[in-house]
Homo-oligomer: A and B are copies of this chain.
């Protein structure tokens, strides 16, 4: 059985406007995208329009816009902030209105571009184990180090010593806020730069729609990532990512949510990290109450016994946490 076969029984499959019908396939190549975006908001021109059920094959760029080609290319010299983490989009989704949720099923991801395709780096005053722009210290910054990595559809050849499995996922996924335009480096209630390793092929992400047409942005593919993205950078790579979109009418969610074959997860992004975790757990409880018939206090106490937490990143301007519960405990 394929990793996407369960999706027909997902909330997307059961309540999406497409009724499970796959529509047209669109290609969002680098050429078609032309101008990538570094801020996520309502002020940019749409790059295409899709209908519920449509499939979109997206050529994402890596977080450095491909400018780090060798281990001698320093991010601090090649990238002028805030022009990091380029996004494809915005893609308009027909029929999506404020108060709906946009469902994004990631069907597949694969690496593209010349080897070594993967890039990791230590960037001055960025990352979790260093003074940063917001956790301001007087210490000398850590050294700037670039690691170029060979990435295939199976493996990430980290070093002579260690080979990691290829576990791709999308780092940044968003609909547009209503009037704000938010840096593609920042996650918040619109989605954004969540860097959550669960957000990979075979899963469905639900995003709150806040403007007509939703205005979907997508980018920041990772070949793999540890919990917390501790040095600040995953194995960043250009990808060919295939998604299928759908609209859940009238399902109003305040924060992004994610569904897999095994679990449902609510996602919060905030500082400090406990606030991100609080948001994620409160939203998960609300979901269990609204859609799975749980009493609020029963859900709260039960998650104290079986809730699962996944740390996205704790390096961005806001940190991201997913709180999840196994579907086997949701069945009635």
Q: Which residues of A contact B (CB under 8 A)?
A: 38-39, 41, 43, 82, 120-122, 127-131, 134-143, 145, 147, 156, 158-159, 161-162, 164, 178-183, 224-235, 268, 270-275, 277-279, 281-283, 285, 296-298, 300-309, 311, 314, 319, 323, 329, 332
Could you write out 24 A-B pairs with CB less than 8 Å apart? Answer: A38-B179, A43-B43, A122-B300, A127-B300, A129-B138, A129-B300, A136-B268, A136-B279, A137-B278, A139-B142, A162-B302, A162-B329, A180-B183, A224-B305, A229-B304, A230-B323, A232-B304, A233-B301, A234-B304, A235-B305, A270-B271, A272-B272, A273-B274, A311-B311
Contact call B304/A230, Cβ cutoff below 8 A? yes
Given contacts A139-B142, A226-B304, A309-B311, 6 further A-B contacts (CB under 8 A): A127-B304, A129-B136, A136-B275, A136-B282, A225-B305, A233-B301
On whether the beta carbons of B224 and A164 are closer than 8 Å, the reply is no
- Closest residue of B by beta carbon distance from A325: B226
Of the candidates B180, B268, B272, which one forms a contact with A181 in the assembled complex, judged by CB atoms under 8 Å apart? B180
Cβ–Cβ < 8 Å partners of A130 in chain B: 131, 137-139
In the complex, chain B residues whose CB is within 8 Å of the CB of A281: 128-129, 136, 228, 230
In the complex, chain B residues whose CB is within 8 Å of the CB of A38: 179
Instruction: List 3 tightest A-B contacts by C-beta distance, closest first.
Output: A226-B307, A272-B272, A273-B273
A281 to B268, CA, bound (A): 22
Chain B residue with Cβ nearest A231: B304
A295 CB, nearest partner CB in chain B, Å: 9
Q: Which residues does chain B contribute within 8 Å of A179, judged by CB atoms?
A: 38-39, 82, 181, 183
Please determine whether B164 and A329 come into contact, CB atoms closer than 8 angstroms.
yes
B226/A159 in contact, CB under 8 A: no
The smallest C-beta distance from A166 to any residue of chain B, in angstroms, reads: 11
Cα distance A122–B182 when bound, in Å? 28
Report A252 CB to chain B, min CB distance, Å.
14
Cβ-defined contact, B274 with A128, below 8 A: yes
A147 to B309, CA, bound (A): 23
Distance in angstroms between the alpha carbons of A120 and B304 in the assembled complex: 9
- Contact B305 A137, beta carbon cutoff 8 Å: no
Chain B residues within 8 Å of A129, by CB: 131, 136-138, 278, 281-282, 285, 300
Q: Give the residues in chain B near A229, CB-CB below 8 Å.
A: 304
Residue in chain B with minimal CB distance to A223: B305
Chain B residue, CB-CB nearest to A314: B274
Given A129-B281, A162-B329: A275 and B134 within 8 A (CB)? yes
Is the beta-carbon distance between B137 and A131 smaller than 8 angstroms?
A: yes
